[in-house]
Amino acid sequence: MPARAVLYVVLSAVVMAALTISAILVFSYRQPGAVADLPSPTTNIDQPTPAASGAAPPEEAPPVTPQATRTTESLAKQTQPESLGVEQLKGYDWPVRNAFITSRMEPRVAGFVLIDGEEVHDGLDLATYCGDKVRAAHDGTVLYAGRNFDPFFGYLGDPSPIYARLERLHRVNQQPIVVVIDDGNGYRSLYVHLQEALAEPGAEVKAGEVIGLEGATGYASGCHLHYGLIRMDGEWQEVVPHLLQFGYPPFVRERVNPLKVLPWADPDAPAKLRDRVLGTPTPVPSSSVSPTPPTTPSPTQVPGAPSPASSNPQPISRGNDR
C-alpha cells in the first residue's frame, strides 16, 4: 500500500475516535448525577447538609414587627374623626362596677407621660377582685386584644423597638393583656392588665358589654383594671424620658382623665363618688327621740360636687380613695 494511503487511513481513524469521545462526553453531561449535578466549587462537601445529619433546616429570623401591626394594621391606621371636647363626651359607663379607685390620673413617681413637667399616671385604676367582668365603657370597634398593643396607643414614631428589645430578652409574655377600642368619637379606650381578653379585633361592641376579665398581667401589683382614654387628634404629650431607653417613641397623643367622662352618680360608680354627688343619708335617730324623716342633702351642700344631672365631675383633691 502506498505511504499516502496509509497516512490517510491513520488520520481518518484519529478523527473518528475524537468524534466518538466528544459524543460520549456530551451525552454523560446531560444525565442526572453526572457532571451537571456535582457540587459547585464553593460548596463544602465535607460539611453534612441538614437533611444528611437529620437536623431541621435553620429558620430565618422573622422581622421584628409587632403582632398588632400584622393582624389589624388597617384598624390601627384608620382615619380618626374630629374629636369632641371632653366636656361634650356622652355615653360612657363604668368599665368595672362598684369598684374601688386605687389610683387616679395624677402626678406620681414612675408615671408614663409628662404634663406640666411632672410624671403622670395616665389612667384610672379600678379594683374589685380577680376575674371580675370588665365591660366596654362606650360603644365602639375593637381594634386589638393581646400583648402587642403599643401601635394602637397613638405614638409619634415607631414603637416596634419596644418589641425588639422584649424579644431579645425573651420577655414578650411579661406584657399586660390589653384590649383597645375605638369609641367612634375621636377617642380610644384602653383596658389594661386583663386576666383574659374576651373581645375579638373588628367586633362592634356596646357600652356595658363584657370584653375581658380583671387581672394582674404585666407589671401589676394586684388584680385591677387600668382604664385609659386617648384623644387621637389631641395634643402631643412627652413620654417620660427614661422610657426612651426601652424603645418608646418620645411623644404620644393626649391622655384624658377618665373621671371627666364617667358618670359619678351612676349606680355602678364607686360609692365615695356617688356620695359626693348625691350626699350621704343622715343616720336614723334613736327610739328615745321622736323620729324625724331622714333627709338627703342636696348636691350643693357637698363642697365641690357636680350636679347630679352632669356626668362630668369637678376635680377632687389628690389622694382620695387611695
Q: What is the CATH number of the domain that holds 250?
A: 2.70.70.10
Give me the torsion for CA of 274, 306, 133, 162, rounded to 10°: -140
Q: Does position 12 have pLDDT exceeding 70, yes or no? A: no
Please give the backbone phi and psi of residue 37, each rounded to the nearest 5 degrees, phi first. -100, 5
Q: What is the pLDDT of residue 82?
A: 84
* Residue with more model confidence, 9 or 294: 9
Q: What is the pLDDT of residue 14?
A: 59
pLDDT per residue over 269-301, tens digit each?
Answer: 999 999 999 887 645 555 544 444 544 444 434
Q: What is the pLDDT of residue 15?
A: 58
* Residue with more model confidence, 5 or 38: 5
The number of folded domains in the chain is 1
30 in a structural domain: no
81 in a structural domain: no
pLDDT per residue over 132-191, tens digit each?
Answer: 999 999 999 999 999 999 999 999 999 999 999 999 999 988 899 999 999 999 999 999
Instruction: Output the average pLDDT for the chain.
Output: 76
> pTM value?
0.65
Q: How far is CA 253 from CA 20, 95, 123, 188, 282, in A?
A: 82, 22, 13, 10, 45
Range of the domain at 135: 86-260
Is the Cβ–Cβ distance between 272 and 262 less than 8 Å?
Answer: no
Q: What is the pLDDT of residue 172?
A: 85
pLDDT per residue over 246-272, tens digit each?
Answer: 999 999 999 999 999 999 999 999 999
Q: What is the pLDDT of residue 162?
A: 93
286 in a structural domain: no
Is the Cβ–Cβ distance between 228 and 190 less than 8 Å?
Answer: yes
- What b-and-e string marks burial along 118-131, b requiring 16 or more CB atoms within 10 Å of the CB? ebbbbbbbbbbeee
174 in a structural domain: yes
The cell numbers describing 144, all together, are 386589638
Q: Does position 46 have pLDDT exceeding 80, yes or no? A: no
Q: What is the pLDDT of residue 275?
A: 92
Q: Does position 37 have pLDDT exceeding 90, yes or no? A: no
Ordered alpha helix ranges (H), the chain = 3-29, 50-53, 67-71, 73-76, 160-168, 271-278
318 in a structural domain: no
CA neighbor of 74 nearest in space, from 121, 143, 10, 132 = 143
214 in a structural domain: yes
* Residue with more model confidence, 251 or 19: 251
- Band of residue 72 on the pLDDT scale cut at 50, 70, 90: very low
Q: Hey, how many other C-beta atoms are within 10 angstroms of the C-beta on 312?
A: 18
Q: Does position 78 have pLDDT exceeding 70, yes or no? A: no
212 in a structural domain: yes
234 in a structural domain: yes
Q: What is the pLDDT of residue 59?
A: 37
Q: Does position 76 have pLDDT exceeding 50, yes or no? A: yes
d(CA 229, CA 90): 13
